[in-house]
Amino acid sequence: MTKLKLNFKILFFLNIFIVCLMLSTKLYADTLQINKNIISIGSSDAKVKIKIFSSFTCPHCANFHKEIYPKIKKEFVDFGKVQLIFIDFPLDQAAFNASKLLHCTEKNKQINFLDSIYEKQNQWMQGPSIKDINKNLEKIAKDFGISKAQFKKCLINEKISDKILNTRILAIQKYDISSTPTIIINEKKIKSPSFKNIKKRIEKII
């Protein structure tokens, strides 16, 4: 692990620790509710609901999004059989910042933002510091109508930051998540998230 990545993780997990202290005085619901703030694709009436917990800096998450997600969408989502729910589980500060930008993007552009951020993962993650990586993210954000001023406000938006971190903490408590991507199908974790295994699980339900 490089010193830069180590620093990202230290800063990020310090943020989580602070949120945990805040949560100690206020209990949150122990379920992850599907609401207007959750990013999803597919019918809300679908029999199968798949939660995808991922981190934008995770290469396995990028591979899942580029290789497996399109197959699930084509075979099941487009026919109203599956709803996919994308849930932030950032593993470091860079991923945390990218997640904030996702939630600052207009609702109708969020799936395209997901596509872009994973497609360009190797590009925007390059840089000697988080400041350089933020500049790379700013270029992507601009393509989705986020101005420089909006970009800066988004990164310090406490409401969005708290939502992402709280959801991450609840995910650990409820699903015992320790790595990404983690796939939950109708509230059951799938051990090996290959398309073959996911398809088999879906077909058993439908």
Structural domain boundaries in the chain: 3-25+48-205
Q: Is the pLDDT of residue 70 over 90?
A: yes
pTM confidence score: 0.84
Q: What is the mean pLDDT of residues 132-151?
A: 97
- Which string of b and e fits 158-192 if b means at least 16 CB within 10 Å? eebbebbbbbbebbeeebebeebbbbbbeeeeeee
Domain 3-25+48-205: assigned CATH number: 3.40.30.10
Asked if residues 28 and 174 have their Cβ atoms less than 8 Å apart, the reply is no
Place of tokens 């990218």: 98
pLDDT tens-digit readout, 164-182: 999 999 999 999 998 999 9
pLDDT tens-digit readout, 110-123: 999 999 999 999 99
